[in-house]
Every structure is written in C-alpha cells, then in structure tokens.
A and B are shown apart, each in its own frame.
Chain A
Amino acid sequence: MEKIKKWLLGFFKGAFGDILFANLEREARETEEVLLTLLLLQFSGLDNPFAFYTMELLPFMRITENSLKRIVAKEERLGYLLSRFEGWA
C-alpha cells in the first residue's frame, strides 16, 4: 500500500509538478509586482510624503524592464476599461 502511495505521489509530482510550481512562481511574481506598483505609483508624486519614503524602499525591489513593461501594460488595460465605462457613471 505504502509503495503504491509513494508511486502515485511521484507520478503526480512528475506529471503536474512543473505546472503547479510555474503557476506558484507566476503568482509570487505578480504579488511582488503589486507591491512594486504600490511603490511606483507614489514614487513620482509631487508634494506627496509617501514619495519620499518610497526612495528608501526601492533598493529592496527587483526592478527589471520586463516587470516595468508588465506594470505599464496592466495600467493601460485598466485605463482602457475605465474609459469604456466613463459614459455609464
């Protein structure tokens, strides 16, 4: 029984492990990018106290061109959606 259980676990890990871990990794990356977005939204502000405090937090973040592209794309999509709903309000 134990052997079958072990074999089944190994089978599922081998078959779906990569997908599962890839999903988890993507989720982690997206969560990290939410934090980065929160910081970057404040970073360029004028007369905004949080802009000052983001400067000391940015070194902790991993900022790459790809992550910036993804954030901008998300914001553009959001802007597009909001513009579609403008007339409804």
Chain B
Amino acid sequence: MRLIFVAGKGGVGKTTVAGTLSHLLSQRGMTALVSTDLAHSLGDFFSREGESFSVDGIRVFQPDARARLKERVREWEGNFFQNISPTLREDFIPFFRFAERDPSNHDLIMLEEVKRIFLEGREDFLVVDSGATAQFLKFLYLGEKLHQWYSLLLKWRKKYLRLRKMVRGKEEDEMLEFLHNRREENRKFKVAMGEAFVLWVMEPNLFSVRETLRFISEARRPDFLVTNKARENFELPLPLREIPGITLPLLQEEPLFKSRAWEKIKDKLREILIWLR
C-alpha cells in the first residue's frame, strides 16, 4: 500500500487537493482517504455525513477523535481494573480521566486510525488529509520511536519469562505476544512512512515561510508542492524552487465536488500522478 500525505497550513485547501487526488487515484486502484484533522471537512467536500462512507469506490474516514479516545480509554480502564485491588484503583482513576481529555492523545488516536487502515491493507493507495504540521511530524517519527520502545519492553519481558521458566516451567504469555505484534506493526508503519509521498499545499495569502521551512528542515523536503488559490505573481522562496510543483486555477464556484470548476483542478492534479510512479 502506498501512503500519500497532504500537508500544509489550515485553510490552504488540503481537503480539496486530497479529495480530488484520491478520486484520480481510484481510477488506478483501490483507494482510501482519511482525514486526521480534528476539524475535519471531508464530509462537507463530498456532501456526506458520518464518520465513514464511500464515494465512487473510495473508502472515506473522518474519525471523531474525542469520541474514539473516550471509548478506547474506557476499554483499557475496564481491562486494567479487573485485576487490581480496589484501594489501588482510586490512585489510578484520575490518570485515566485526564488521559480522556489530553489533547495530545487526539493525534495519537488519529495515528492509530491511519495505522489500522494501513495494516488492513485492503487498498493500493491511502491518502491522508493531515492536520497541523506538528501532527504530521509526530506521524513521521512515532513509528520508529514506538518500535524502539516496544523492543525495550520486549527485552525485559523475555528476561522475566526466562527466569520464571526456571522456577515454574514453561508458560504461555499474552503480553509477549502482544508486544511482538505491536512492534511488528510499528516496524511496518515505519518503513511505509519512509517511502510515503508528501505533498505540501500552499496558499499565497496564507503563506508562512517559517512553517514551510520548518517542514523542510525538520521532516524532510516534500516530494511535491501545490500552490492553491494562486495569484499569478506569487514567487516561491529560494529553497522551495527546486521542488517540483503545480499551480491550481483560482476558482469561485461552490460546491466544488463534481462541478465544472472541479474538472479544472483535476486536470492540473494529473501532473502529480506522473510523480507518484
């Protein structure tokens, strides 16, 4: 499965580019589209409602991070409290309540969602309409970090099981299997993130040189630039000029999906498909 990330500042047209691109890709193979933006707008673009739906054979996901996080934390809390004494339970409850509201966990829930669809492996392309730049950087590095983290935990669990085996004989261990699976998942995701195709969408009126340069220096240079809602006299800063890119036509018509104006965008975005090979 090929991962394609669409990143950029808020309001530059990431969703339009991601939606149109996945429509083009669906003619080449099975495509899924996920929005990891907390304020997702894929539903508005396709004029559909719900957390997941399909349009012209594209599976579209726009998970509600808050609800998913609450659901997940409650599930873990339930599992944890099954085998712990009631006196200790009270010490741990506040942490779980806090984790439900921690905004940094929203990004992780979204990452898990992307990972889940990626590991299902049903599609040939997975287009990710990503949120803020910081979130994208997290996605880029976390697979590798988690791989290291699970390796460390596995090392200690194996050590413990070796000692326990000497005393009580061989036993099945659920945690060992769980850690193995998690490490393997993150290894696969890490490799896929290394090969992911990254599109950086810009808009002259909202152009932030700092954020774009940060993106290039901290993450890695994007594979492609899209200048959306473009003015004619917009000039890119010097480090960006080497990166291939296109300029989309300025459009006023609403709603965009499947309108005549949309065809113009599609024509322009076909250039990206050449680079995707």
Q: Does more than half of chain B's interface fall in helix, strand or loop, or is it mixed?
A: helix
Q: Does more than half of chain A's interface fall in helix, strand or loop, or is it mixed?
A: helix
Residues of chain A lying within 8 A (CB to CB) of residue B104: 46-49, 52
| Contact, CB under 8 Å: B146 / A53 | yes
Q: Give the bracket for the number of chain B residues in contact with chain A.
A: 35 or more
Residues of chain A lying within 8 A (CB to CB) of residue B99: 51-52, 55
Cβ contacts A38-73/B at 8 Å (1 or 0 each):
110001101111111101111111111100100000
| Contact, CB under 8 Å: B160 / A32 | yes
* Interchain CB contact (< 8 A) of B83 among A49, A57, A59: A59
* Interchain CB contact (< 8 A) of A35 among B76, B146, B153: B153
A-B pairs under 8 A by CB, number: 79
| Contact, CB under 8 Å: B153 / A57 | yes
Q: B residues 84-113 with Cβ under 8 Å of A?
A: 84-85, 87-88, 95-96, 99, 102, 104-105, 108
Residues of chain A lying within 8 A (CB to CB) of residue B157: 35
Residues of chain B lying within 8 A (CB to CB) of residue A56: 76
Residues of chain A lying within 8 A (CB to CB) of residue B77: 55
* Interchain CB contact (< 8 A) of B88 among A34, A46, A50, A68: A68
Contact sample, A vs B, 5 pairs, CB 8 Å cutoff: A28-B164, A38-B152, A49-B138, A52-B104, A60-B175
